[in-house]
Amino acid sequence: MKHPSSPDLTTPPRSASSGLDARVVDAWVTWLGALATDAEAALAAAMAYKELDATARNLWLSALEHDAERANVPRIAVYAPLLAVESDPERRARITEAIGPADVAATPRVAASALCGVTGAGLRVASIVTPLYLDFVQVLACGYRPAGGFEWVKHDPIVDRRNAPRPGDTLGEAVMESTPLKPLVDQLAHAVLAHQRSGRVIPEALKVFADLFGPGAGGTLPPPAL
pLDDT tens, 38-61? 888 888 888 899 999 999 999 899
From the number of C-beta atoms within 10 Å of its C-beta (0-12, 13-18, 19+), residue 28 rates as buried
Question: 96 near 83, Cβ under 8 Å?
Answer: yes
Asked if residue 225 is part of any domain, the answer here is no
Give the C-alpha separation, 154 to 143, whole Å.
9
Q: Do residue 95 and residue 56 come from a single domain?
A: yes
Phi, psi of 101 (to 5 degrees): -60, 150
**What's the order of all strands across the beta sheet hosting 149-160?**
149-160, 136-145, 124-133, 113-118, 177-178
* Residues 144, 205 share a domain: yes
Residues 88 and 127 in one domain: no
Higher pLDDT, residue 107 or 35? 35
Q: Is residue 192 domain-shared with residue 209, that is, in the same domain? A: yes
Mean pLDDT score of the chain: 81
Question: Does 120 lie in the same domain as 96?
Answer: no
Return the number of other C-beta atoms located less than 10 Å from residue 100's C-beta. Answer: 11
Do the domain assignments include residue 17?
no
Same domain? For 123 and 159 the reply is yes
Mean pLDDT, range 74-99, rounded to an integer: 87
| Domains identified in the chain, total number | 2
Q: Which of 84, 104, 124 marks a domain boundary?
A: 104
- Compute the distance between CA of residue 201 and CA of residue 184 in angstroms, rounded to an integer: 21
Asked whether residue 87 falls in the same domain as residue 136, the answer is: no
Is the pTM above the cut of 0.75? no
SS3 140: strand
> Which residue range forms the structural domain that includes residue 39?
22-104
106 within 8 A of 37, measured Cβ to Cβ: no
* 4 is a domain residue: no
Q: Of the residues 104, 122, 157, which one is the last residue of a structural domain?
A: 104
